[in-house]
Amino acid sequence: MRKVTLGTSGEKVSALCLGAMYFGTRNDAASSYALLDQYVAAGGSFIDTANIYAHWVPGFQGGESETVLGQWMRERGNRNDLFIASKVGFNYPGVGRGLSARQILTECDRSLQRLGIETIDLYYAHVDDFQTPLEETLEAFDRLVQTGKVRYIAASNFMAWRLEKARWTSRTNGWAEYCCIQQRYSYLRGKRGASFDPQLEASDELVQYCRAERVTLLAYSALLGGMYTRRDRDPGSQYHGPDSNARLAELNAVAAETGSTPNQVVLAWMLAQGVLPLIAGSTHEQLAENIGALKIALSDDQVARLNAAGA
Ligand SMILES: NC(=O)c1ccc[n+]([C@@H]2O[C@H](COP(=O)([O-])OP(=O)(O)OC[C@H]3O[C@@H](n4cnc5c(N)ncnc54)[C@H](OP(=O)(O)O)[C@@H]3O)[C@@H](O)[C@H]2O)c1
């Protein structure tokens, strides 16, 4: 699998990151192992989890994704071949929401323990916290970097101005800076004023900021749960309307021209513009289709048409 530079870290990572959100919960250990093996066999090494995954699945508490990922790494003996990302900041049973120093330091230790590793390669602030002073949050993240518990730090679900303010705060204090941002981002775009609370969709401003500052945008929910090809999936009323209809028509046209699937065109469109998509799937076929997006080369004209489509 080809590699790309991860924002301002300078690190080379897989061009498609594997989302492990439902590993250990909706996907039992055996199917999680199979999907992880499949991704690694395709040359992938960038895996995304979080302390809270996936506490909202009935019967689970959170931490299951990190635990199953840790067990798999131990059994395969492959930790040193991987680039592991985790996150802190959202609430889950027994832990409140926020980015206080205490929360960051305690939750990092718990994640390291569940993963069974000494260092998290990329550690995200999972959601912004307006109550805790930025200095407190960023000094704590820097302490994790200085003590070797974390290599790089990143933001998720941040507004562009908050990301810039946080990066400026780190820079002026000589602390580690957020090197990239993970945001909700797909080919369809939410209607003006649409809310995905507590998630944040990447705004045009954020996309532009990332390009200008070489901060990689990582796209989560890139395939909107499979709705580009599945009649059983609705992306939500935030996406209903003429803009989406026009974009779906163009997407399907480009898919037909390139002999690929709409899902693959969405991912290839992101890759062509320097966006790093997270891919997820619960079956071998889904993951194979998504990884297959790397083989699709869109022409400049096709990218331009996809960009121009819509109201
Ligand atoms: N930072 C954040 O706040 C945040 C939020 C959400 C997610 N994430 C990260 O992003 C990752 C991906 O998020 P997501 O699950 O929302 O992504 P997604 O790509 O929108 O949805 C994945 C689901 O779509 C369906 N799917 C995937 N590929 C398909 C294909 N080729 N054909 C048909 N259906 C397909 C599958 O549904 P079924 O399994 O039901 O078949 C799959 O589980 C997560 O694992 C997590 O690591 C981060």
How many angstroms separate the CA atoms of 35 and 259, rounded? 25
Distance CA 32, CA 19 (A): 11
Segment (H or E) for 134: helix 134-146
Number of domains in the chain: 1
pLDDT digits (tens, 9 = 90+) for 122-154: 999 999 999 999 999 999 999 999 999 999 999
Question: Is ligand 1 within 6 A of the CB of residue 229?
Answer: yes
In a domain, 247, yes or no: no
Mutate which of 14, 17, 21 for ligand 1? The one with the most ligand atoms within 8 Å of its CB, which is 21
Asked, for residue 228, whether it belongs to a domain, the answer is yes
Per-residue pLDDT tens for 154-213?
999 999 999 999 999 999 999 999 999 999 999 999 998 999 999 999 999 999 999 999
- Distance from the alpha carbon of residue 177 to the mean position of ligand 1, in angstroms: 28
Residue 289: domain span: 3-235+265-297
Q: How far is the CA of 168 from the centre of ligand 1 (A)?
A: 32
Q: Is the CB of 282 under 6 A from ligand 1?
A: yes
CATH of the domain at 292: 3.20.20.100
Q: Does 252 map to a domain? A: no
User: Does the residue 241 lie in any domain?
Assistant: no
Q: Which pTM value belongs to this model?
A: 0.97
